[in-house]
Amino acid sequence: MKLLLTIILIGFSTSLFSQDKITYLTPPPSPEASFTQELVEGQITITYSRPLARGRKIFGGLVPFDSLWRTGASGATTVHLTEAMIIGDKTINAGKYALFTIPGEKEWTIIINADTTLHGAFGYDSKKDIHLFKVQPIRTDKFREAFTIDVNEITRTGEAILSLTWENTLVKIPLISPVDVNAMADINSRLINNKEQNTELFYQAANYYYLTGRDLKQAAAWTVEAEKADKENFNYPNLLQKILADQKDYSAAIAAAKRAIVLGEKKKMTNAVSVLKKRIAEWENK
């Protein structure tokens, strides 16, 4: 009888404790994040972990000044480029890299390193650094609870800012696609310096100037030269009417649009002709 009672009590006790085992899911202290941003022809992908402030002093506290930082949490923060890109002031070839920083009160050191296998900064080897440069931190009024990396301030010429924000600190890292640099170098060399007479080059350079918001007078002049050389090409007066309209020279834009309409009707470009006619109607009322 005593043995039976002992077995019953043990069974009841085990059942009670098993019922008390409760597990609550909690959010990770440093959630992982990844994003991709297209910049002209290439893409930049950032993969990192986002630690939270949780009431702590961050820079000069949790993250000491003048010490190497993994620029996030957990594994190394990585930057993957599908095409070459200028980061800071140096062209970085396509590939995958680790992003480290040395935060300072008045200056940060940005480090692009070849070793992406590290857990944080443990095992960091400066011999594998690809590029180091300095930037100045900016104090912000808006408090950022989670460490955040983003790409913003994107321009038509392929420039952007890789921003690091946490607590009340913002760090801006300049990004530039070399596509624009190369295109402008080619235009300057062939058209401006060497005065090359090439109809298609006139058109392509004018279109590039128009799309990237550069000198519209120069763009118009090149388009005029292209149209003089080939009066049957719809693209030339069609581009010219856009450039002239942006300069608010509506009478000249109307004339160019009408020339484009004639060519468009010959080639049965119904939609393009319809758009041009609507534009002319709008300009005539200005």
The DSSP element (H or E) to which 31 belongs, if any, is: none
Return the DSSP state at 190: I
* Whole-number pLDDT of residue 20: 66
Instruction: Judge contact between 226 and 204, C-beta under 8 A.
Output: no
The pTM assigned to this predicted structure is 0.79
| Both tokens assigned to 73 | 């949490």
Can you tell me which residue has the tokens 């058109």?
A: 203
The CB-side HSE value for 106 (13 A sphere, CA atoms) comes to 0
* Whole-number pLDDT of residue 190: 96
Mean pLDDT by 10 residues, the chain (286 residues): 47 52 72 91 94 95 96 93 94 96 97 92 92 97 96 94 97 94 94 95 97 95 96 97 96 96 95 95 89
Cα separation of 265 and 125, whole Å?
66
What does CATH list as the number for 197-284? 1.25.40.10
The residue ranges of every structural domain in the chain are: 32-177, 197-284
Return the DSSP state at 22: -
Cα separation of 39 and 21, whole Å?
51
Q: What share of the chain is helix, strand, coil (3-state, %, to 5)?
A: 40, 30, 35
